[in-house]
């Protein structure tokens, strides 16, 4: 294997791991939390949002971008060639559709939820909105990760 292959494999693994984690939330975690009474669902999601802040999640979440860029940099050929261009497109799709969406859409909702008292009447309304809007943006992240995996895989 060439150095670009290792970098590309690392980016593929990162995008796949993050996409799989996010897919679980879109497929069933948010649905299950939404079936709980609002105070319990809020408290559970607040606990998840604290537990997720760890290197085990941050390394693939943020490390996928430099790995993808390294793959592009190390690939033979110019950015006008299909391989490097597809790897760059996959890396950019991941960066914008997953990482930027996380920071600009999902995290602000997480911050609002973190500040809520699960037992307050206002929290129930926030929770209803959170379930819809946060999950909608999570779907975007899943699609971005999936597209990134496909583009990175096809860039060989």
DSSP sequence for the chain: --HHHHHHHHHHHHHHHHHHHHHHIIIIIHHHHHHS-HHHHHHHHHHHHHHT-SHHHHHHHHHHHHHHHHHHHHSSS-TTSHHHHHHHHHHHHHIIIIIIHIIIIIHHHHHHHHHS-TTSHHHHHHHHHHHHHHHHHHHHHHHHHHHHHHHHHHT-
Mean pLDDT, residues 29-43 taken together: 98
Mean pLDDT, residues 136-152 taken together: 98
The pLDDT, as a whole number, for residue 109 is 98
Q: Please tell me the pTM assigned to this model.
A: 0.95
The pLDDT, as a whole number, for residue 156 is 84
The pLDDT, as a whole number, for residue 127 is 98
Mean pLDDT, residues 31-35 taken together: 98
Mean pLDDT, residues 22-51 taken together: 98
CA angle, corner 101, sides to 90 and 119, nearest 5?
Answer: 145
Q: Which residues of 63-85 are buried (b: 16+ CB within 10 A; e: fewer)?
A: bbbebbbbbbebbeeeeeeebbb
The pLDDT, as a whole number, for residue 79 is 76
Reply yes or no on whether the pLDDT at 78 is more than 80: no
For the record, the structure tokens of 103 come out as: 């920071």
Mean pLDDT, residues 100-128 taken together: 97
The pLDDT, as a whole number, for residue 103 is 98
Mean pLDDT, residues 133-146 taken together: 98
């Amino acid at each position: 294997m060439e150095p670009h292959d290792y970098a590309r494999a690392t980016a593929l693994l990162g995008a796949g791991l993050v996409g799989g984690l996010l897919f679980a939330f879109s497929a069933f975690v948010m649905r299950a939390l939404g079936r709980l009474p609002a105070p319990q669902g809020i408290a559970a999601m607040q606990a998840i949002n604290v537990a997720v802040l760890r290197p085990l999640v941050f390394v693939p979440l943020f490390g996928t971008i430099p790995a993808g860029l390294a793959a592009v940099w190390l690939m033979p050929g110019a950015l006008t060639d299909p391989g490097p261009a597809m790897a760059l497109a996959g890396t950019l799709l991941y960066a914008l559709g997953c990482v930027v969406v996380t920071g600009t859409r999902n995290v602000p909702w997480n911050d609002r939820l973190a500040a809520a008292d699960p037992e307050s009447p206002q929290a129930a309304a926030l929770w209803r909105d959170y379930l819809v809007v946060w999950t909608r943006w999570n779907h975007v992240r899943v699609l971005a990760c999936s597209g990134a995996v496909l583009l990175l895989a096809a860039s060989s």
